[in-house]
Structure 1
Amino acid sequence: MLALAMAAGVLAFSVLALTLFSVLPAKAAVHAAADSAAIAAAESASHSTAERSCAIAAEAASLNGTTLLRCDVSDSEATVAVGRPILTTSFSVTARAAVPRAKPTVANGAMPADELVPVVYPGVRESPPVRLRSDVAAALLRLLEAYRAETGDYLPVDEGYRDLAEQQRVFDQYGWPRAAIPGTSNHGEGTAVDFVNPPVVRGSHPHTWLAANAAQFGFEPLTDPDEPWHWDYTG
């Protein structure tokens, strides 16, 4: 009886060990396949449709022995889920990857006038007008309207796009790191906004509102150097 019990124990241990040694690598492979599919979708999203990006993700999943179960592609992120049977169950993994930002097609500070849009709204500097890339201008208007609706006030905007000559003037006045080296400023890409300083300073109500709400409109604060009035559009 003792020998029989010992044999049963050895058999059970062997089955458990076999299961662990087969399941763990299989699950790791599914995780790797999910990462691969997400990266494939994200890298193609900047120059392909969402449908095509998901087809590429499906190909990547298949090459790694899994099936694509879900694929969502936005301007900023690709989310995929892949799965495969492992023993008697179905195992799936979800992974995400950031879509690479498209490189600018024109030199910093040399954007064509027809690619820039003047931002017209109460509180925004009128002369010279604040100009931004069209999608950034639209996002800023939504932000300004939300601030007005919530607070009853207007957020004062001082500056947007800077051409190369203006970048040089600002650099000559303030120097680095207060001003970016000419030709490297986000202002030169039409994606940076300077609010009026003051009142937009750290600890002020306008800055507190921006810190809590700007991200939902695609804007992030500049932190190096620390300029509470400077916000960059990241989409």
Structure 2
Amino acid sequence: MLALAMAAGVLAFSVLALTLFSVLPAKAAVHAAADSAAIAAAESASRSTAERSCSIAAEAASLNGTTLLRCDVSDSEATVAVGRSILATSFSVTARAAVPRAKPTVANGAMPDDELVPVVYPGVRESPPVRLRSDVAAALLRLLEAYHAETGDYLPVDEGYRDLAEQQRVFDQYGWPRAAIPGTSNHGEGTAVDFVNPPVVRWAHPHTWLAANASQFGFEPLTDPDEPWHWNYTG
């Protein structure tokens, strides 16, 4: 009986040792492989199609001894899952990585007209038109449509892109910090939106709706200085 008990103890110790020295390092390797694949997909997403980015992620996963199980690439994030069999047990890990934002290729306030799109929707200022970078304009339209579908009302939009001359005019009128120093405003990159104030003021329904929903469309509020009507597109 003693010998049997000792044998059982040795077996249990062997299983524990196998877990500690084989399974756990393998799991850590799968985590590292997932991170590597996610980063590979994200870094290629800014210059390649989603399909190509996922192919690159699959290559990275394979190089790390894992298999790509899932790959989703959006404008802002890559999500991948990789798997590996460890002692006849399948093990998978999901990882995410942010897609690097392209750096502006033109000076603030000097965007060419062909990179700006007028936003046409009820409630948006018509003359002069509110213009934004094309991806920002598309995101804003989705936001405006969602607000109207939920409330039956329209969010009034008053400002978008400002060229350098317009930034200077606003700065001369309001000064810092109410207005950004000319050449540094988010409006000069075609990524900032000013809603009409009022009704978009803190605690009013249009603002509370934006606070709860705008991030789904890539918009974040300006908090320094505190301007409830000013929202920046971050993707």
Give yes or no for TM over 0.5: yes
Deviation per CA, 1:147-201, whole angstroms, max 9, x where unpaired?
Answer: 2333233222111101112222223333333322322211111111001112111
Structure 1's 154 and 26: CA in aligned 2 closer, same or farther, altered over 3 A? Answer: same
> Residues 83 and 148 (structure 1 numbering): CA distance in 2 closer, same or farther, change over 3 Å?
closer
Higher mean C-alpha displacement, 170-179 vs 95-104: 170-179
In structure 2, relative to structure 1, the CA distance for the partners of 1:123 and 1:60 (3 Å cut) is same
| Residue 191 to residue 6, structure 1, CA distance change in 2 (3 Å) | same
Unaligned runs of 5+ residues in structure 2 are: none
Offset at 1:22? Answer: 1.1
Task: Check 1:11–1:152 CA distance in 2 against 1; reply closer, same or farther (3 A cut).
Answer: closer
Give CA-to-partner distance per residue, 1:109-152, whole Å, 9 cap, x none.
10112222222333222333221122322332332233233323
Residue matched to 2:133: 133
The residue matched to 2:231 in structure 1 has which SS? Answer: strand
Distance in 1, matches of 2:234 and 2:118, equals 19
Please, which moves more after superposition, 171-180 or 128-137? 171-180
1 CA distance for matches of 2:165 and 2:179? Answer: 13
Tell me how far apart the structure 2 counterparts of residues 52 and 72 of structure 1 sit (CA, whole Å). Answer: 11
Structure 1 residues 22-78: Cα deviation after superposition (integer angstroms, max 9, x where no partner): 111110010000000000000001001112211211121122111212212121111
Calculate the TM-score normalised by the size of structure 2: 0.91
Compared CA separation, residues 97 and 174, structure 1 to 2 (3 A): same
**Residues 12, 150 of structure 1: CA spacing in aligned structure 2 closer, same or farther, 3 A cutoff?**
closer
In the aligned structure 1, how far is the partner of 2:147 from the partner of 2:55?
A: 41
Q: Which moved more, 1:31-40 or 1:219-228?
A: 219-228
Instruction: Quote the residue 2:112 is aligned against.
Output: 112
SS in 2 for 1:94: strand
Structure 1 unaligned segments of length 5 or more: list them: none
Corresponding residue pairs, total = 235
For residues 58-110 of structure 1, what are the alpha-carbon distances to aligned partners after superposition, in whole Å with 9 as ceiling and x for unaligned?
Answer: 12112211121221212111111111111121211111111111122221110
Following superposition of structure 1 onto structure 2, how do residues 52-91 of structure 1 map, counting pairs within 5 Å?
A: 52-91=52-91
50 and 109 in structure 1: CA distance in 2 versus 1, 3 angstrom threshold: same
What is the alpha-carbon distance in structure 2 between the residues aligned to residue 53 and residue 184 of structure 1?
Answer: 33
- Are residue 9 (structure 1) and residue 48 (structure 2) matched? no
Q: CA deviation at 1:3?
A: 4.3
